[in-house]
Structure 1
Amino acid sequence: MEKTNKINIRVRYSETDKMGVVYHGNYAQYLEMARVEWLRELGVSYRWMEDNGVMLPVVSLQINYKKSARYDDVLTVQATLKKTPSVKIEFDYYIFDENGDILAEANTVLAFIDSKTFRPIRCPEYILNKL
């Protein structure tokens, strides 16, 4: 099962350090932006899921940095569903610069959580049906 979506992000000045290099912690936000848009392309929004009792917290985040992103660069963040979701959903990511060079590789695992009980639940059928 491989479903991929790509987004473009322009690096803002506030995301960089004194050297003009993107602060490493900002990459997690880029991954989140790609993941949210991946779901939106599928026809599901985070907001709608949360309004309907499903939360999706990150339980694992791994990033392997290859090359620095800098102020005003346009990055492409590619998010790919790794396998059919169950109680968890897992994504692999690549972040590319404008030349197509890989700046970072990443992986996240998120858990489906019932917002009332805070207990894990299975992936909602409305997501599985769209896959």
Structure 2
Amino acid sequence: MSNYFIKKEKIRFKHVDYAGIVFYPRFLEMLNDLVEDWFEEALERPFSKIHETNGIPTVDLKVQFKKAARLGEILTKSLWVKNIGGASLLCGFKFEDEEGKICLEGEVTLVNVAFKDNRGGIKAESFSEEMKEKISKFVLS
């Protein structure tokens, strides 16, 4: 079994700037979509259910933009786990074009949080053992 969670994404007009290349914030939206899809499809924890009581905010993000992506291209987006903490995950990611050239790559740290009250209070909360087991299938050794 692959340790990668993989999704394809077509670069659409909404992603590009006047120069016809992906505007860099759109890459970060695509990354967020990848994380949401991973939680829903692979970890069976859709954001629509998570956000009733919890959240998974990004607390650290490192990105290297390697190559422009253009309208009409298909990107292969990959995500894997580098480290599982009690309430946090360090994930690696990369987006590759159809020739296998990396457009961007980096790391994202996500934290499982519980909502403490209705005023926006949050606190880190450990992942359940069941969730850690599901997440561990994506750890690269």
Q: TM-score w.r.t. structure 2 length?
A: 0.84
Q: Counterpart of 2:48?
A: 47
Which of 102, 110, 126 does residue 130 from structure 2 map onto? 126
Output the CA distance in 2 between the equivalents of 1:85 and 1:100: 31
Output the CA distance in 2 between the equivalents of 1:128 and 1:3: 14
Q: Where do residues 50-69 of structure 1 align in structure 2 (5 Å cutoff)?
A: 50-51=51-52, 53-69=53-69
Output the CA distance in 1 between the equivalents of 2:124 and 2:82: 20
Q: Counterpart of 2:139?
A: none
Q: Counterpart of 2:34?
A: 34
4+ runs deviating over 4 angstroms: none
> Mind listing any 5+ residue stretches in structure 2 that lack a counterpart?
137-141
Letter of the structure 2 residue corresponding to residue 98 of structure 1:
E
Partner SS for 1:14:
helix
Q: Counterpart of 1:17?
A: 17
Instruction: Assess if the C-alpha contact under 8 Å between 1:73 and 1:97 holds in 2.
Output: yes
Instruction: Assess if the C-alpha contact under 8 Å between 1:87 and 1:112 holds in 2.
Output: yes
- Identical-pair percentage: 20
Q: Where do residues 90-109 of structure 1 align in structure 2 (5 Å cutoff)?
A: 90-109=90-109
State the Cα RMSD in Å: 1.6
Q: TM-score w.r.t. structure 1 length?
A: 0.89
> Mind listing any 5+ residue stretches in structure 1 that lack a counterpart?
none
Instruction: Assess if the C-alpha contact under 8 Å between 1:73 and 1:98 holds in 2.
Output: yes
Instruction: Assess if the C-alpha contact under 8 Å between 1:58 and 1:108 holds in 2.
Output: yes
